[in-house]
Amino acid sequence: MRKILLLNNEKMVIEAYEDAIQSGDKRWAIHLADNDIQALKIIESENIEAIISTPIIQNTDVVGLFNIIKERHPQIIRVLQSNLLESTAIQKELLKKFKSTHMLLIRGLFDFKQFMQDLENIFQYSALISNGKLKNLVSNINSLPSLPELYIRINEKLNTEDASLREIAGIIKHDVSMTAEILKVVNSSLFGFANKISSIEQAVALLGIEMIKTLVLSLKLFSQFPRMDQISVSIDELWDHSFLTAVFAGRIAFAVTKDKNVQENAFTAGLLHDIGMITLASQMPQTYKKAYEDAFINKTPINYSENKFFEVSHCEVGAYLAGLWSLPLDICRSIARHHLPDVSENEPDILTLAVHCADVFAQSLKDKNQGLPLEELNPQLNHIELFMDNHEQWFSMCEEIIESENNNSKT
Ligand SMILES: [Fe+2]
Ligand SMILES: [Fe+2]
């Protein structure tokens, strides 16, 4: 039985949970506390695996408590639960203050069934980032890229009942440079739209809210990284590679499944799959340079060399960040496993398979991969039917996308 501590002082929540616990799911033991002293007592006496707290509790310094837990019990997963209806400014402030949080749960606690699902996700996510070195490394990074304000505002709007495409476009249009960047990206010949897209409304209508939201998130995240010579990874080149991977992953997912969710997630995961790479490279440029050179000299994939020097790779760092930004677990998983390190033990899901293939195809068809050895399709995929039956066709499809892009740029 896994033990969870819920720190909350709203009477209604506590009562609802006390009732639910009585008749509850036997896989979880939920302990309740309404202040920090009580919380620490429970943590000392019970084998608590995760704490879920609201950011503000009367007479309790929740930030301080999370820091104490991080120091004394680093294995405990620290989850901050906050309702998106709170203002954007508060959300932004929270992410800045709660550096030692592993995960942000953006929803209320009244739906107990949903909460149980969240618990499942929290533990699956935790298993993905179970490397103790990773938790240490990321909690020592001073400025983790934070969730962009515009993205939070779009999510806030989407959480209201009356959200319309026009309103979402209206929110984006307030940010003039973002509007220009999105239009530039959606007019890229890689998307293959026949006519020029000249307004955000048109872009939202054609691509859908989820994809536009993903573009806002990724463009803003990439813009948070400093463009410095000391960083071995070129942010602009990594953006081009990530965008190509996203387009390919989206198309592969489209060819495999009718599930729109998987198609959209493939695009998002493609855009963010290497986000851990720039995080490591910009936060620890000297060590990263060594890892980078090691990969180049020994002709090994960059994740091998990252593991040598950091004991984690960009895959886990990226998955950690995706979880911190509340992206779906499927996306975190595909980012964590996009190099398929342990495919023999566990078959990759469609999303992970699409991102892995898209990443490899993007490198072999277009990118120079910044001088690093090219990734290859994981040979262990050869026993997976879905892959064996389709990968040649997927590659030709991606080749055609590049050919038509080349033709367009000539005309
Ligand atoms: Fe990668
Ligand atoms: Fe990549």
CA of 291 to the centre of ligand 2 (A): 16
Ligand (nearest to CA of 359): 2
The residues placing their C-beta within 5 Å of ligand 2, an ion, are: 274, 359
DSSP string over 149-208: HHHHHHHHHHTSTT--HHHHHHHHHTSHHHHHHHHHHHTSTTT--SS---SHHHHHHHH-
Would you say 206 and 197 are in contact if contact means Cβ atoms under 8 Å apart? yes
Half-sphere exposure of residue 224: CA atoms within 13 angstroms, side-chain side = 16
Domain spanning 149-410: CATH 3.40.50.2300: no
Would you say 172 and 351 are in contact if contact means Cβ atoms under 8 Å apart? no
Q: Which fold has domain 2-128?
A: Rossmann fold (3.40.50)
Q: Which amino acid is at 114?
A: Q
Ligand (nearest to CA of 315): 1
Report helix, strand or coil for 77.
strand
Would you say 59 and 37 are in contact if contact means Cβ atoms under 8 Å apart? no
Backbone angles phi, psi at 319, to 5 degrees: -65, -40
Identify the pLDDT of residue 85: 47
Cα 135 to Cα 66, 93, 127, 139, 288, distances in angstroms: 14, 22, 12, 6, 18
Query: Can you read off the two tokens belonging to residue 280?
Result: 């490591």
Q: Which of 145, 281, 153, 144 is nearest to 216 (CA)?
A: 153
- The answer to whether 2-128 and 149-410 have equal CATH topology is no
Identify the pLDDT of residue 342: 65
The contacts found for 201-207 with CB under 8 angstroms, 24 or more apart, are 201/165, 201/166, 201/169, 203/169, 204/165, 204/168, 204/169, 204/172, 205/165
What string of pLDDT tens digits covers the 411 residues of the chain? 778 898 988 877 777 777 766 666 677 788 889 899 999 999 999 989 889 898 888 888 888 898 888 778 877 888 888 765 455 566 666 666 776 677 777 666 667 777 777 777 777 777 777 666 776 777 666 667 777 888 888 887 887 777 788 899 999 999 999 999 999 999 988 888 888 999 999 999 999 888 999 999 999 989 888 776 667 788 888 999 999 999 999 999 999 999 999 999 999 999 999 999 988 988 888 999 999 999 989 988 899 999 999 989 999 999 988 887 778 888 998 999 999 766 666 678 899 999 999 999 999 888 665 667 778 888 888 888 889 999 999 999 999 999 887 777 666
Ligand (nearest to CA of 241): 2
Domain residue spans in the chain? 2-128, 149-410
Global pTM? 0.81
Element (H, E) at 54: none
Identify the pLDDT of residue 250: 96
CA of 363 to the centre of ligand 2 (A): 8
**Number of residues in the chain:** 411
CA of 335 to the centre of ligand 2 (A): 10
CA of 243 to the centre of ligand 2 (A): 10
Beta strands in 23-135 (DSSP E): 28-33, 48-53, 77-82, 103-106
* Angle ∠(402,338,107) on CA atoms, nearest 5: 110
CA of 274 to the centre of ligand 2 (A): 5
Would you say 31 and 39 are in contact if contact means Cβ atoms under 8 Å apart? no
Would you say 327 and 155 are in contact if contact means Cβ atoms under 8 Å apart? no
Backbone angles phi, psi at 172, to 5 degrees: -65, -40
Gap between the Cα atoms of 314 and 238, Å rounded? 13
Ligand (nearest to CA of 238): 2
